[in-house]
A and B are shown apart, each in its own frame.
Chain A
């Protein structure tokens, strides 16, 4: 899932300065699961903003709405009517959701309430860890299911570097060295040959905005253009 962190209240207050009526939109998917931007977090943030602005004698009216998925047009439609009643939108979704809202309502200022942090896993209640950088060129098959791009601090493809420290990464005593783990796992599986050969330079696929169209599908815009022609 996509994991996000709520921005500090001061930063959010600064963005909303001067606005009197703002709609706070939560998202019911990833950010709800990671406790950053679901229905409950919308409520909490609105209460905080309401109180802070009242103390400053500059009250703000915060609306609340949580849609199922801000990254999906189908669900965003439910917002259209509501948005008309507000000056600005605060979105608690990931960066994709924020941008999708901004795209849909180009005349409304849209502000992010969270910092989108990573694609990760749930290790325990409220505890998440990064696992994927969505580089578009997955090598997990060669590296024992441990991602060198994400889990190695230098993103090495031919590690480990010389800084490995008692199985930990040179950057921190608390961060296991990814390449140490890769080595141990492949050894256990009798697959060390996977990392004996030089892994050539990566042809990075993530240097421009990426688009995926699954086999058998087409961009609808293209279809309409073709129909028009």
Chain B
């Protein structure tokens, strides 16, 4: 892939993707407290089974241990973190200093997000900052990394050489615009994207076809988002109550059809089939597995999906 140029960062995830391996990334939500052991315990399930671990940033607007702090624990445990940063909780000044601090500590991946509205959390009247949006944040990190400057034009003494990630949701309206929006994120500086959890495979195939037709997969690595369903209740909740989530009736019926006590195994089977299809799908460079509060299942899912062992890098 000639267009990719020189490596942009010191990220292991970037090296894996550049080498043409099918990437496999995981996710970890920090605890609601100052509990270091909780982070380490979850990390232990992921170690060796994924290439990089997204650390969520006050997801669903609920306060948790700082993403950068949990990222440092992962580094200490020998895992590569992917620092998620939302635009809801910081203005551009705090973002820049957190990016510098994170890089100085050895964090090499950053995922730039708008963030859920404060309304979803347990402190719904907190002021949402949104000084800049996710698109502008992507561009800000790229500017600091490539131009080695602050937005003011002042030189940075050591640029943060981050591998820049973004999110993409193929399942929210307006559908026709979603691929354009991905193109815009790439234009802004995204090196890789991780998609929203995929359940509607038809719509995702269509999205990928458009992305490939536009050549987006050659400019940016696209990782398909997978979250195994634990139960019929979880599927129904996601279908009804999670904005921007598309869970077709057929998926809910499949889980229901599995019978009592067997829905979670059926959910895992569906996830594994998905991963196998993504491995073959044109333009998909890897899978991002979000096993929410189910980290201990990651080794089994990875094993059964045939993504182990993870590539060793020299």
Residues of chain A whose beta carbon lies under 8 Å from any beta carbon of chain B: 153-167, 170-171, 177, 180, 183-184, 192, 196-202, 204
User: Are B117 and A154 touching (Cβ within 8 A)?
Assistant: yes
User: Are A154 and B92 touching (Cβ within 8 A)?
Assistant: no
User: Are B139 and A154 touching (Cβ within 8 A)?
Assistant: no
0/1 per residue, B150-179, Cβ < 8 Å to A?
A: 010000000000000001110011100100
A163 nearest in chain B by CB position: B243
Count A-B contacts at CB 8 Å.
Answer: 94
Which one, B22-30, B124-132, B265-273, B283-291, is touching chain A? B124-132
Contact of A198 among B114, B128, B187 (CB under 8 A): B187
- A166–B114 alpha-carbon span in the complex (Å): 19
List of B residues within 8 angstroms of A166 by Cβ: 173
User: Are B133 and A158 touching (Cβ within 8 A)?
Assistant: yes
Dominant secondary structure of chain A at its interface with chain B: loop
Given contacts A164-B243, A204-B131, A153 and B117 within 8 Å (CB-CB): yes
User: Are B151 and A201 touching (Cβ within 8 A)?
Assistant: yes
Give 14 CB contacts A-B under 8 Å. Answer: A153-B119, A154-B115, A157-B133, A158-B136, A160-B181, A163-B117, A163-B243, A170-B244, A196-B180, A196-B184, A199-B135, A201-B132, A201-B151, A204-B131
User: Are B133 and A183 touching (Cβ within 8 A)?
Assistant: no
Most chain B Cβ neighbours within 10 Å, of A154, A155, A196, A200 = A154
Most chain B Cβ neighbours within 10 Å, of A158, A166, A170 = A158
List of B residues within 8 angstroms of A160 by Cβ: 172-174, 177, 181
User: Are A162 and B139 touching (Cβ within 8 A)?
Assistant: no
Give 4 closest A-B pairs by Cβ, nearest first.
A162-B169, A158-B135, A170-B243, A163-B243
Residues of chain B whose beta carbon lies under 8 Å from any beta carbon of chain A: 87-88, 92, 114-117, 119-120, 128, 130-136, 139-140, 151, 167-169, 172-174, 177, 180-181, 184, 187-188, 196, 243-244
- Give the shortest distance, in Å, between B181 (CB) and chain A (any CB): 8
User: Are B173 and A198 touching (Cβ within 8 A)?
Assistant: no
B188 nearest in chain A by CB position: A198
- Give the shortest distance, in Å, between A158 (CB) and chain B (any CB): 4
A177 nearest in chain B by CB position: B173
- A108–B173 alpha-carbon span in the complex (Å): 55
User: Are B173 and A171 touching (Cβ within 8 A)?
Assistant: no
- A199–B267 alpha-carbon span in the complex (Å): 40
- A199–B187 alpha-carbon span in the complex (Å): 11
Given contacts A158-B135, A163-B243, A180-B173, A201 and B117 within 8 Å (CB-CB): no
Most chain A Cβ neighbours within 10 Å, of B130, B151, B177, B181 = B177
List of B residues within 8 angstroms of A158 by Cβ: 133-136, 184, 188
